[in-house]
Amino acid sequence: RKEVEQDPGPFNVPEGATVAFNCTYSNSASQSFFWYRQDCRKEPKLLMSVYSSGNEDGRFTAQLNRASQYISLLIRDSKLSDSATYLCVVNTGRRALTFGSGTRLQVQP
């Protein structure tokens, strides 16, 4: 079983749509959680950290459910510029990050 699992997609959505990505992790001792965004041929960039209380940054909302070992990302009012691969990332306490395989989002006009 992979340490971090994501639906690879692609998710094809129209502009303005709301889209949600889910992720599960296997190590219950995991300590920190993130969503990264990776554009084609670019390095991953931090989108947001994920906390148990949930956090919101503009159109983006992230949630963490430790009991279910489940992380989500919600994007509201999708823009064309949101098209990218979204990586679910976990820090298991080893200091290095463990990456999911990524979920590809394509926002269409």
Partner 1 sequence: SAVISQKPSRDICQRGTSLTIQCQVDSQVTMMFWYRQQPGQSLTLIATANQGSEATYESGFVIDKFPISRPNLTFSTLTVSNMSPEDSSIYLCSVDPQGRGSYGYTFGSGTRLTVV
Which residue has 């306490």 as its token pair? Answer: 93
The reply to whether 99 sits near partner 1 by the rule CB under 8 A is yes
Judged by CB under 8 A, how many residues of this single chain contact partner 1? 21
Whether the CB-CB separation of 18 and 77 falls below 8 Å is answered with yes
Whether the CB-CB separation of 106 and 83 falls below 8 Å is answered with yes
CA of residue 45 relative to chain centroid, distance = 12
The reply to whether 86 sits near partner 1 by the rule CB under 8 A is no
The CB-of-53 to partner 1 minimum distance in angstroms stands at 15
Question: Which of 78, 92 has the CB closer to partner 1?
Answer: 92
Which residue has 């999708």 as its token pair? Answer: 78
The CB-of-105 to partner 1 minimum distance in angstroms stands at 15
Residues 39, 7: Cα–Cα separation, whole Å? 17
Taking residues 5 to 44 in sequence order and writing x for each that binds partner 1 by CB under 8 A, - otherwise, the string is --------------------------xx-x------xxxx
Residues 38, 45: Cα–Cα separation, whole Å? 6
Binding site for partner 1 (CB under 8 A): 31-32, 34, 41-46, 49, 87, 91, 93, 95-102
